[in-house]
Amino acid sequence: MSVSIPMPIHRPATAIELGELVRSHAAIYPRGGGTHSHIGGEPAQPGIVVELTGMNRIIDYPARDMTVTLQAGATLAELQKLLKSENQWLPIDVPTPESATVGGSMAVNANGPRRLAQGTWRDAVIGIRFVSDEGIESKGGGRVVKNVAGYDLMKLHIGALGTLGIITEVTLKVKPRPEASSFVVFGVPTSAVGPTLDRLHASNSRPVAIELLNRAAVKKLGGTLPETEPWLIACGFEEKSATVAWQIATLKEESTGTPLRDLAVVEGEAATQLWIALTALQSSGDDFSTVKFNTRPSAVAALTLKADAAHSQAIVHAHAGNGIVFVHIPNEPKPDRLATILQELASPRVEDNLQILRCPPAWKAGLPVWGHDRGDRTLMATIRATLDPRRVFNPGRVPW
């Protein structure tokens, strides 16, 4: 955990032990596998780190019901291994799944390329348990898909960074594993990025993912992807084998007469590795600052081109169908360059926003780590005042 205040680490094995820790400390900093500890502001006061990796049991897996209930400290890799035994999966992409926990990934709302067709954590969670600021384990939802009992507490906790309580257990909807998984990749000249994305949004092929990458992002991926054009688009397809074959043929037919270059199909194990690599692009490493922009899909082309031009070494990639753009900028001795680039790229539209996912901790106080206030912070502050009036969870990490 990138903090300026050394803190003791506690690893409770049960919700009861966790509750005792909450009741006996004034500041609690929850942590799963530590893969997203760089997100948010710096801690505002000393306290303890509570690591949930000791609470990692699979509680119930009725495969025929296509649901699974497990403790929040289980990793994504452990969960997917279990589901694979029944030819099922959770189609949510998270970087470093071997370390990332289910609860931690939900708390930061980590998602990847498949979100275009498969949705996010908010679409997968049907039940939740969490420890409140009073040290009491509460619950919302249940273990069946058709459940309308109580308040929809699941969605409140997703993306709240643990500020409304510490997630201890979740129930998820799962899906059958697809028969086939493939990509169609092709190079795109700068002038054709916008028109190409417009065609893909209207395409009859209906990709599961539309990923846009600049040359630096393609080099970061490694492998044998084409680099003859300044931009590369990877369209992912996952379904029955016959369906995927039709989708690929349809996209190829639609591409006739367009300025696309080096069109290639990636299949089998190579496609599996490309999904992993595209997801891992979100994690730039400590040598880069990472900014995540949320905009309209129609604005992705303009934003990515502008970001690519803002810094000669910028790694730029986007979930183009969702309006999510990641920009990784090499760290310099001072944060001035990053602040200038943010000013250049920031949009005045109220529906757009940015979040600095990673930067040197010393810079955070002078940068808009959570973007601009769109009126939602007042709402979140009101909710937090109800669920965590002592502000015991993650003080300083969020702006509400």
Q: pLDDT class for 146, splitting at 50, 70, 90?
A: low
Sheet with 58-60: list strands edge to edge: 58-60, 67-71, 166-173, 125-131, 137-141
CA 301 and chain centroid, separation: 21
Beta strand 28-31 with 48-51 is parallel
pLDDT averaged over the chain? 94
Phi, psi of 264 (to 5 degrees): -145, 155
CATH number of the domain located at residue range(s) 52-176 in this protein: 3.30.465.10
DSSP per-residue codes, 236-287: EEEE-HHHHHHHHHHHHHHTTTSS-EEEEEEEHHHHHHHHHHHHHTT---TT
Mean of the pLDDT values across residues 104-113?
97
Mean of the pLDDT values across residues 340-363?
91
How large is the angle between the packed helices 300-310 and 336-345, nearest 10 degrees?
A: 150
How much is the pLDDT for 3?
A: 45
Name the CA dihedral angle for 342, 343, 347, 349, rounded to a multiple of 10 degrees. 120
CA 164 and chain centroid, separation: 19
> Per-residue pLDDT for 1 more than 60?
no
Q: What is the pLDDT of residues 53-106, one digit of tens each?
A: 999 999 999 999 999 999 999 999 999 999 999 999 999 999 999 999 999 999
- With a pLDDT cut of 70, the percent of the chain lying above it is 97
Every domain of the chain with CATH number 3.30.70.2190 lies at 180-280
Q: What angle do CA 336, 219, 196 make, to 5 degrees?
A: 90
CA 215 and chain centroid, separation: 22
Q: pLDDT class for 386, splitting at 50, 70, 90?
A: very high
How large is the angle between the packed helices 300-310 and 193-201, nearest 10 degrees?
A: 150
How much is the pLDDT for 2?
A: 43
Round to whole Å and give the CA distance between 349 and 353. Answer: 8
CATH number of the domain located at residue range(s) 180-280 in this protein: 3.30.70.2190
Q: What residues contact residue 181 under an 8 Å CB cut-off, 6+ apart?
A: 236, 237, 238, 244, 267, 271, 272, 275
Fold of 288-377: Alpha-Beta Plaits (3.30.70)
